[in-house]
Amino acid sequence: MSRQDDRSPAERAAELRAALHHHAHRYYVLDEPEIPDAEYDRLFQELQAIEEAHPELRTPDSPTQRVLGRVLDGFTPVRHAVPMLSIRTETDTEDSGAVAFDARVRRELGLAADAPPIAYACELKFDGLAINLRYEHGVLVQAATRGDGETGEDVTQNLRTVNQIPLRLAGCDAPVLEVRGEVYIRRDDFEVLNERQRELIAQGHKNEKTFVNPRNAAAGAVRQLDPAIAAKRPLSFFAYGLGEVQGWDQPATHSKTMDALEAMGLPVNRERQVVKGADGLVEYHRAIGARRDALPFDIDGVVYKVDDLALQRRLGFVTREPRWAVAHKYPAQEQMTVVRDIDIQVGRTGKLTPVAKLEPVFVGGTTVSNATLHNEDETRRKDVRIGDTVIVRRAGDVIPEVVGVVLERRPAEVSAPFDLYQRLKGRCPVCGSDIVREEGEADWRCTGGLFCAAQRKQAILHFAQRRAMDIEGLGDKLVEQLVDHGIVRTLPELYKLGVAKLVELERMGEKSAVNLIAGLEKSKQTTLARFLYSLGVRHVGEATAKDLARHFGSLDRVLDASIAQLLEVPDVGPIVAQSIRTFFDQPHNREVVEQLRAAGITWAEHDGEADRTPKPLAGQTFVLTGTLPTLSREEAKELIEAAGGKVAGSVSKKTHCVVAGAEAGSKLDKARELGVMVIDEQGLRALLERV
Ligand code: IVH
């Protein structure tokens, strides 16, 4: 954009201000920017430069004047021209709450039963902080909190930093227009804010803290004495009403008034809706309730307002509440309660999760007495201790969680900061095995995979799967029953199962029982790689198990391998080596391995590294696609691996060869695209025979 210098600085400044107001509205309120951020910055800087050179051109509504205050000692009281009232809250969260409001309104208006339904303006009840914005001749001159309704506090300099709040109204220069609404923080902004706070705390900023919820963070920001800090808090705003009005022709309904405010550039929430009668209210309450968790900000209910302002006037007020409006709540998603204890649960995979045992509390529609603390870091970050009063949140179907501690309520004799290792004395609470926390991981884990009762089902299913011991007939449901009835507690006990015990189980006929026993018998003849994989050592997948088997050649050598020796295995790094060592260092795991061997599991052992079968495909990666004429996927894979090759799931530049069968799909296309060699089953067999 070229600058036309025949215009005076005053004209150019006015033009820039108008452009910046327009683009700020598009960006912050409508979320539909028309120009790139860099262009906005350029216009902004041009205006700043003009104002530097001509300070007399600076106006209070200039976009450059958003952050201009100094640190305050306190806030100045503001007497509201029109009191800021609150509304009656319907605590009955069911449909009947809406029906009761409509009945009350009709009764107070003296309407006959057959009179037409009343039109209501329905809105969300934002969970933030009420604010009065005073515009004089279209320019924002003051922002005040609600206070006691009569007198609030002057928070103008903080609210000026909220980009969504226009410093000048579009197309309105009424002498006085007070706009009322809610300042709040969006959930995503809240997460970012807390993340930043955590970083500050980690950097040693002692006065910083994380916020328990968006409402508290918003309230803190509005009442922040340093406007520079307030400016860094991601506040948003929705208008929902008016205060004092002079010289503005207000439309005849609340909904039209909101439309007019929206046209002036104020943010007004789009979920508002005009409905008819009690049925309309109920429908709105239900519809919003169903979407509550998907909204980008917290609400604690909806608000119904009689739409017609003439009717509003007829209804008037009782004490300090209008008769024409009501807040209809949803069940609270957050409640305060006390932490009685912190338990540590062992998951199916051995993950240790700290769980707060709570004084039971009704939240999110159910009574909650346990809430997850996720992991040790999270517990320390929130500094949750036994005896603390905490805020518990249960939103939708999500498991209840502790969002934060109410530090003001911390008793003098509170327990020490949470330390998972110390708490458990380093032992799994279920099986007594060592617990470990690997570098870079958030979770502590039990290492007693084969022995730990908490991990039994998972361990057995893993052991039995096709790629492991391949025990035919031992599926999900059966494992569930065997463990729940206490028939199988450890893997070796599988091999002690008899038909008589099995037929007692649900849906287990004699034939299935006999088949299972046969499946178990058959599984005993396996390979070292399969056996190693079946143990479920953390980080030891199929490929690593094969590498280990190939490298060490015998189980005893694997069991006794030092970290240094393990590191010699291709693709085994320090974390995997440590995990293998820790696993076999647990006497319980060792015992299980011995019992399995004693049960008759065998494989052909190699003596040491003397695996002398030819390896024509050593170091080559293959990808299988489509259906081969005689070999199954599994068989082809085994042949390739036996010849020293690897089989990968997808084609890349590193793939040596793609083996394609009938109906090969995208992998074949990809191979052609990358120029990777493509062969068929016959070609594969030829490669395998080439010694
Ligand atoms: S109307 C005279 N509309 O709820 C009526 N209030 O007691 C004035 N609130 O703290 C309020 N969303 O800040 C109204 N859509 C909405 C609202 C709303 C949230 C808050 C308000 C006040 C409380 C009402």
Mean pLDDT computed over 498-523: 90
Please compute the mean of the pLDDT values over residues 184-196 and round it to a whole number: 92
Maximum mean pLDDT: which of 423-427, 607-611, 639-643: 423-427
> What would the mean pLDDT of 24-36 be, rounded to a whole number?
86
- Helices 95-108 and 277-291 cross at an angle (nearest 10°) of 150
Which residues of 137-235 form beta strands (DSSP E)? 139-145, 151-153, 176-184
What's the pLDDT score for residue 611?
A: 54
Whether the pLDDT of residue 286 is over 70: the answer is: yes
CATH topology for 621-689?
Rossmann fold (3.40.50)
Query: How many angstroms separate the alpha carbon of residue 86 from the centre of ligand 1?
Result: 6
Share of the chain above pLDDT 70, in %: 97
As a whole number of angstroms, the distance between CA 25 and CA 229 comes to 23
Could you give the CA distance from residue 488 to residue 498 in angstroms, rounded to a whole number? Answer: 12
Task: Compute, in angstroms, the gap from residue 326 CA to the centroid of ligand 1.
Answer: 9
Long-range contacts of 3-8 (CB under 8 A, 24+ apart): 3/46
Measure 363 CA to ligand 1 centroid, in angstroms: 23
> What's the chain's Rg over C-alpha atoms?
35
Torsion angle of alpha carbons 90, 95, 101, 106, nearest 10°? Answer: 180
Q: How far apart are CA 487 and CA 496, in angstroms?
A: 10
Identity of residue 626: G
DSSP string, 617-634: TTT-EEEEESB-SS--HH
Residue bearing the CA closest to ligand 1, atom 18: 125
Token pair for 176: 């006085």
pLDDT, average across residues 526-546:
94
409 CA to centre of ligand 1 in angstroms? 29
What is the distance in A from the centroid of ligand 1 to the CA of 110? 26
pLDDT digits (tens, 9 = 90+) for 395-406: 766 789 998 898
The answer, yes or no, to whether any atom of ligand 1 lies below 6 A from the CB of 284, is: no
In a 3-state reduction of DSSP, which class is residue 548? helix
pLDDT tens string 111-134: 999 999 999 999 999 999 999 999
Which is nearest to 228 in space by CA: 157, 129, 122? 157
Taking the CA of residue 123 as reference, the ligand 1 atom at the shortest distance is: 15
Ligand 1 proximity of 126 Cβ (cutoff 6 Å): yes
* Ligand 1 contacts CB of residue 243 (under 6 A): no
Using CA atoms, how far residue 20 sits from 52, 372, 476, in Å, is 17, 47, 63
Query: Within a 10 A sphere around the Cβ of 5, how many other Cβ atoms?
Result: 8
Two tokens at 250? 């207000």
Quick one: average pLDDT of 196-209?
A: 84
Asked whether the beta carbons of 636 and 684 are under 8 A apart, the reply is yes
Instruction: Tell me the average pLDDT of the chain.
Output: 90
Nearby residues of 196 by Cβ (< 8 Å), 6 or more positions away:
none
Q: Which atom of ligand 1 is nearest to the CA of 181?
A: 13
pLDDT-above-90 percentage for the chain: 62
List Cβ neighbours of 546 (8 Å cut-off, separation of 6 or more): 529, 533, 641
pLDDT score at 1: 47
Q: Which long-range contacts (CB under 8 A, 24 or more apart) does 62-65 make?
A: 62/13, 62/17, 62/167, 63/17, 63/20, 63/21, 63/24, 63/167, 65/160, 65/167
> Are the C-beta atoms of residues 51 and 64 closer than 8 Å to each other?
yes
Q: CA torsion sign, 67 to 68 to 74 to 77?
A: negative
Helix (H, G, I), strand (E, B) or coil at 215: helix
Contact of 625 with 636, CB cutoff 8 Å = no
Q: Indicate whether residue 100 lines ligand 1 (CB < 6 A).
A: no
Cβ of 322 less than 6 Å from ligand 1: yes
pLDDT of residue 36: 84
User: What contacts 608, CB < 8 A, 6 or more positions away?
Assistant: 552, 553, 554, 557
- Determine the Cα–Cα distance for residues 87 and 304; give it in Å rounded to an integer: 10
Q: Which residues of 446-478 are buried (b: 16+ CB within 10 A; e: fewer)?
A: bbbbbbbebbbbbbbbbbbeeebbebebbeeeb
pTM above 0.85, yes or no: no
CATH topology of domain 4-65: Helix Hairpins (1.10.287)
Mean per-residue pLDDT, 422-444: 91
User: How many residues make up the chain in this entry?
Assistant: 691
> Which residue puts its alpha carbon closest to atom 16 of ligand 1?
125
Query: What are the sequence ranges of the domains in the chain?
Result: 4-65, 89-329, 334-424, 449-609, 621-689
Closest CA to 101 of 115, 120, 116: 120
The CA distance from 503 to 62, in Å, is: 84
Other CB atoms within 10 Å distance of the CB of residue 157:
23
pLDDT bucket at 386, cuts 50 / 70 / 90: very high
Torsion of CA 174, 175, 181, 184, to 10 degrees: 100
Among residues 342, 407, 404, the alpha carbon closest in space to that of 370 is found at 342
Distance in angstroms (rounded) separating the CA atoms of residues 236 and 218: 9
If one residue of 85, 120, 126, 261 were mutated to test the ligand 1 pocket, choosing by the most ligand atoms within 8 A of its CB, it would be 126
**Rounded distance from Cα 125 to ligand 1 centre (Å):** 6
What pLDDT score was predicted for residue 639? 87
Supply the pLDDT for residue 68. Answer: 67
- Among 324, 292, 295, 300, which Cα is nearest to 310's? 324
Q: What are 474-497's pLDDT values in tens digits?
A: 988 899 899 888 899 999 999 999
Q: Matching CATH topology for 4-65 and 89-329?
A: no
The per-residue pLDDT for 145 is 95
Phi, psi for 323 (deg, rounded to 5): -80, -15
Which of 87, 89, 320 most suits a substitution to test ligand 1, by most atoms within 8 Å of the C-beta?
87
Instruction: Kindly give the pairing relationship between strand 176-184 and strand 389-393.
Output: unpaired
**What is the DSSP track for 268-336?**
--TT-EEEEHHHHHHHHHHHHHHHGGGSSS-EEEEEEEESBHHHHHHH-EETTEETTEEEEE---SEEE
Choose among 535, 553, 552, 532: nearest CA to 543.
532
Count of C-beta atoms within a 10 Å radius of residue 244? 12
What does the pLDDT average to over 45-59?
92
And the tokens for 324? 């024409």
Question: How many whole angstroms separate alpha carbon 682 and alpha carbon 672?
Answer: 19
User: 125 an active-site residue?
Assistant: yes
What mean pLDDT is predicted for residues 549-560? 94
Decide whether any atom of ligand 1 lies within 6 Å of the 402 Cβ.
no
For 271-289, what is the mean pLDDT? 97
- The better pLDDT of the pair 185, 28 is held by 185
Contact assessment for residue 190 and residue 197, using Cβ atoms and an 8 Å cutoff: no
CATH match of 89-329 with 2.130.10.10: no
Q: Tens digits of per-residue pLDDT, 342-370?
A: 999 998 889 999 999 999 998 887 899 99
CA-based nearest residue to 400, from 376, 375, 368: 368
Query: Is the model more confident about 203 or about 327?
Result: 327
Average pLDDT over residues 455-474: 92
**Fold (CATH) for 334-424:** OB fold (Dihydrolipoamide Acetyltransferase, E2P) (2.40.50)
Evaluate whether 17 touches 66 at the Cβ level (below 8 Å). no
* Fold designation for 449-609: DNA polymerase; domain 1 (1.10.150)
What's the number of CA atoms in the CB half-sphere (13 Å) around residue 43?
A: 21
Q: Is 388 in the pocket of ligand 1 (CB under 6 A)?
A: no
**What's the DSSP call for residue 60?**
T
Looking at ligand 1, which atom is closest to the CA of residue 269? 15
141 lines ligand 1 (CB under 6 A): no
Q: Is 89 in the pocket of ligand 1 (CB under 6 A)?
A: no
pLDDT value of residue 609: 43
Query: What is the helix (H) or strand (E) element at residue 436, kind and residue range?
Result: strand 435-436
Q: Is 130 in the pocket of ligand 1 (CB under 6 A)?
A: yes
CA 83 to ligand 1 center in whole angstroms: 13
- For the cut 90, the answer to whether the pLDDT of residue 39 exceeds it is no
How many angstroms separate the Cα of 463 from the Cα of each of 84, 494, 496? 68, 11, 16
Q: What is the pLDDT of residue 607?
A: 43
Residues 338 and 392: their CA atoms lie apart, in Å, by 10
Residue type, 141: V
3-state secondary structure of 28: helix
What is the structure's pLDDT at 71? 75
Q: Is the pLDDT of residue 70 over 80?
A: no
